[in-house]
Structure 1
Amino acid sequence: MLNETELAARLGVSHRTVRRIRAQGRISYSRVGAGTQGSVQFSEDDIAQYLASNRFEVTSPKPVRKPRRKAS
């Protein structure tokens, strides 16, 4: 289980980004402890599911054509 700060470090984002992702419902989490004061924790399964749902394939970029030179 990782807390928000640890997850942010693993993903290479700020803890505010992790909070925003959580608030948007894009990642599952568990609250450990008493009521709303408990700490937010992310399981390895939660993290794997989030990463899988946000994965996209990168294709080779199209070659950039050089502009033609005007004949002088």
Structure 2
Amino acid sequence: MTVHLTQYLSFPWEFVSSLFWKRYPNPHARHVLSVDVLERYLLPNGKLYTKRLVIKKNIKANTILAFKIFPWRSSPRC
């Protein structure tokens, strides 16, 4: 699956970029297992292109799958 997202923010680039790079990992986002940068370069128009791989665990999805596949179990296995 590939997801593309474009946002335009009314804040200085330094402020936005520093918050973006500090987002993960952090102690409050325990669902994020790892973050790796796969590619990073400047486009000819001056935009920074970054492709990252973020590995997360999704407890809600695991719970739904567990009840659909194994309805007799009271808790999912992760």
Same fold per superposition (TM over 0.5): no
TM-score (norm: length of structure 1) = 0.26
Structure richer in strand, relative to its length:
2
TM-score (norm: length of structure 2) = 0.25
